[in-house]
Amino acid sequence: MAETSSSLHSPAYVFLLRAGHRLRPLHQAHAHIIVSGLHRSRSLLTKLLSFACSAAATRRYTLLLLHSIPEPDSFLFSSIIRASSRSSSPSSSLLFYFLMLSLPVPPSNYTFTSVLKSCADLSASRTGISIHSHLLVHGFDQDSYVQTALLVFYAKCGDLVVARKVFDRMPERKVVAWNAMISGYEQNGIGEEAIELFHKMRDAGVLPDSATMVSLLSACAQVGALSLGQWVENYVMENGLELNVVLGTSLINMYARCGHVRKAREVFDMLPEHNVIAWTAMIAAYGMHGHGLEAMQLFDRMRSEGPLPNDVTFVAVLSACAHSGLVCEGREAFESMSRDYQLVPRVEHHVCMVDMYGRAGLLDEAMWFIRERIQAEPGAAVWTAMLGACKMHKDFDLGVEVAERLLTIEPENPSHYVLLSNIYALAGRMDRVEKVRNVMIRQRLKKQTGYSLIEIDNVPHVFRMGDTSHPQTMQIYNYLEELMHKIRNAGYMPETDSVLHELEEEEREYALRFHSEKLAIAFGLMNAGEDVVIRIVKNLRMCRDCHLAIKFMSVIACREIIVRDKHRFHHFKDGECSCKDYW
């Protein structure tokens, strides 16, 4: 095919560049290329095709274009595969890849990085695994770019063991490879591993960059590692890493999830630019701390001076309303979503609405919403929210009905059984409680075990219920006994409801007194400085009894106690909780 050096200086090329990713101008540029007699220029056609792929032009058009080119080469295929892998329909790149193989045109290392990225983004695990074997056949398994793409593919598909294998076998690990592995752990909810790998990275003498810090902060947010998060902020400042909107958002999220809403807001105000993700993160931050009014104020400001809210923003807004009892505001936001922003409510939004009505005690409204406003068959998440409401407001009949429906939808989920047995217990149906427990034992369903984490002098300590592994165990239990005695004298009465059947059989003897958050608080009161706020991170929801006990503890110990549970924050102070018992 004729290639003239002039084709890249031709007016047609300028025309093409100007067209960019817009479809109609691309058609015009195509016409221009033909009219100027440059339709044999491979570089121009490659560029045109790549633009067409990024524009997610109709597949018909791109295929037509492709077929009009005689003997397309490896470079051309790699270009369009890369362009499609970054477009809104990455599956096209798989199509082009298999077309390439069938011709056959030999793939290159560039081909594999792109096509693996598509598999990762599509979670196309079977296809990705077969492509793994292709790249072995073509001898690209030692290419560090291909290896990193492969690692990311396995991590995105959730196979961290294989991802780690790829990582460990890399002869040379640059910062990008470390970042990919750290991010992989974090994205899969294994924040501890992400943090551990970060320490290994430092030991290996690899200098972290901004992307490392973003993933690391997410990991800190996940596990509640405040001191490491603060270290990261320091590092960023001292090493002159630019506080851009991505890094800033990660920092906001870390502070919010580690209990420091005010610091989160400071970072938000510091950012040079605010996109929809940064706004959403800050609204969510207020929401999870029960600061519904602040969340709504910020949302109003966003509507008047910020970017357009997206569906994630509305999840944050509705959740904030739900956790603060802002029913009218929430209802209006829900309507506004489709009316003003043409956003289609998804399951998450429905769940928030049901949760919002439910928490507020408007169980009829919640049921009405499920019946009338949800088009398809409501999923398990919606019923879980409904069940939570029944439990909170002690509507046992409805609760049992809902729980049984949940079990038919997701019979393999142990937490539904726990909820159902709780509802039966609250309703006094002990016979049913035993039945449910037996089903669980027969099916070997085990509920998650709870733990609580507290940092003292930047060192994290983890406690589990009835934990005796800590070196200070004796002192902690003695201290806790004494504390429980004091709060009983102050008027605390154990909420025995909560003892029932949240526990496995052998754990019952520990009952309520030694739930992990109580152990962590006792340990914190013993070891933290006088005026230090006690901060606990718990992986499950708190039970009613702990919630009540901690209110008393905040008075007796004269201390502010902040607990993050599975869903939100509780700030205990002077005998009250910021959630206003609204959780």
By CB under 7 A, the residues from 329 to 348 that bind DNA are: 347-348
- Among 60-68, 92-100, 141-149, 570-578, the segment contacting DNA (CB under 7 A): 141-149
Contacts of 483 (CB under 8 A, 6+ apart): 522, 525, 553, 556, 557
By CB under 7 A, residue 87 contacts DNA: no
Distance of closest approach, residue 379 Cβ to DNA, in angstroms? 7
Query: Shortest approach of DNA to residue 222 CB, angstroms?
Result: 8
Residue 61, CB half-sphere, CA atoms under 13 Å: how many?
A: 16
Contact mark string toward DNA, 303..322, x via CB under 7 A: -------xxxx-xx--x--x
Closest residue by Cα to residue 264 from 296, 291, 293, 241? 291
Cβ-based nearer residue to DNA, 88 or 469: 88
- Residue-wise DSSP of 21-78: T-HHHHHHHHHHHHHTT-TT-HHHHHHHHHHHHHTT--HHHHHHHHHTSSS--HHHHH
Is residue 145 a contact residue for DNA (CB under 7 A)?
Answer: yes
Q: In what order do the strands lie in the sheet with 561-564?
A: 459-464, 451-456, 534-538, 561-564, 569-573, 576-577
**In a 3-state reduction of DSSP, which class is residue 461?**
strand
Q: How far apart are CA 105 and CA 63, in angstroms?
A: 16
Among 135, 225, 284, 542, binds DNA (CB under 7 A): 284
Angle between helices 42-54 and 23-35 (to 10 degrees): 170
Closer of 276 and 556 to DNA (Cβ):
276
Interface stretch with DNA, choices 18-26, 223-231, 276-284, 484-492 (CB under 7 A): 276-284
Residues, the chain: 583
> Counting contacts by CB under 7 A, is residue 179 touching DNA?
yes
Q: Which of 209, 332, 365, 507 binds DNA (CB under 7 A)?
A: 209
C-alpha span between 119 and 81 (Å, rounded): 12
125 contributes a contact to DNA by CB under 7 A? no
* Look-up of token digits 């439990």: 391
213 binds DNA (CB under 7 A): yes
Q: Does 100 bind DNA (CB under 7 A)?
A: no
Q: Residue 118 interacts with DNA (CB under 7 A)?
A: no
Structure tokens at 375: 């088009």
In the complex, least distance from residue 563 CB atom to DNA, rounded to whole angstroms: 15
Per CB under 7 A, which of residues 184..203 are in contact with DNA? 186-187
Please give the angle made by the CA atoms of 427, 432 and 433, to the nearest 5 degrees.
80
Smaller CB separation from DNA, 11 or 106: 106
Which range, of 146-154, 335-343, 484-492, 547-555, touches DNA by CB under 7 A? Answer: 146-154
Residue 152 in the binding site for DNA (CB under 7 A): yes
Candidates 182-190, 226-234, 291-299, 519-527: pick the segment binding DNA (CB under 7 A).
182-190
**Whole-number Å distance between alpha carbons of 71 and 41:** 13
For DNA, the closer of residues 28 and 144 by Cβ is 144
Residue 270: its H or E element: helix 261-270
Q: Are 228 and 202 in contact (CB under 8 A)?
A: no
Size of the site for DNA (CB under 7 A): 74
Residue 4 binds DNA, judged by CB under 7 A = no
Q: Residue 281, interface with DNA (CB under 7 A)?
A: yes
Q: Which amino acid is at 263?
A: K
CA distance 151 to 153: 5
Verify binding: residue 109, DNA, rule CB under 7 A: yes
Nearer to DNA, 92 or 554 (CB): 92
CA–CA separation, 259 and 573 (whole Å): 14
Choose one: 128-136, 213-221, 258-266, 428-436; the region binding DNA (CB under 7 A): 213-221
DSSP run (H or E) holding 463: strand 459-464
Residue from the set 78, 84, 118, 554 that interacts with DNA by CB under 7 A: 78
Q: Are strands 561-564 and 534-538 parallel, antiparallel or unpaired?
A: parallel
Coil, helix or strand at residue 145: helix
Q: Is 275 among the residues that bind DNA (CB under 7 A)? A: yes
Contact at 8 Å (CB) between 385 and 356? no
Using CB under 7 A, which of the segments 28-36, 58-66, 180-188, 331-339 binds DNA? 180-188
- Per CB under 7 A, the segment of 57-65, 125-133, 351-359, 400-408 that binds DNA is 351-359
CA 276 remoteness from chain centre = 16
Single residue of 29, 48, 99, 214 touching DNA by CB under 7 A: 214
Residue 146 binds DNA, judged by CB under 7 A: yes
Q: Which is nearer to DNA, 7 or 253 (CB)?
A: 253
Q: Examine residue 44 and tell whether it contacts DNA (CB under 7 A).
A: no
- Per CB under 7 A, does 117 bind DNA? yes
C-beta closer to DNA: residue 330 or 466: 330
If the CB atoms of residues 179 and 516 are measured against DNA, the closer one turns out to be: 179
- Considering only residues 376 to 435 of the shown chain, the ones binding DNA according to CB under 7 A are 380-381, 384-385, 388
Candidates 33, 48, 223, 351; binder of DNA (CB under 7 A) is 351
Q: Which of 38, 149, 363, 453 binds DNA (CB under 7 A)?
A: 149
Exposed e or buried b per residue across 319-328, where buried means at least 16 C-beta atoms within 10 angstroms of its C-beta: bbbbbbbbbe
Residue 247 contacts DNA per CB under 7 A: yes
Phi then psi dihedrals of residue 286, to 5 deg: -60, -45
79 part of the interface to DNA, by CB under 7 A: yes
- Least Å distance, CB 551 to DNA, is 21
CA angle, 98 as apex, 96 and 99 as ends, to 5°? 60
β-bridge pairing 576-577 and 569-573 = antiparallel
Q: Should residue 258 be labelled a site residue for DNA when binding is judged by CB under 7 A? A: no
123, 234, 244, 489: which one binds DNA (CB under 7 A): 244
**How many other CB atoms are there within 10 angstroms of residue 314's CB atom?**
25
Judged by CB under 7 A, which of 41, 54, 87, 249 binds DNA? 249
Both tokens of residue 439? 């089903």
- Tokens linked to 342: 């043409």
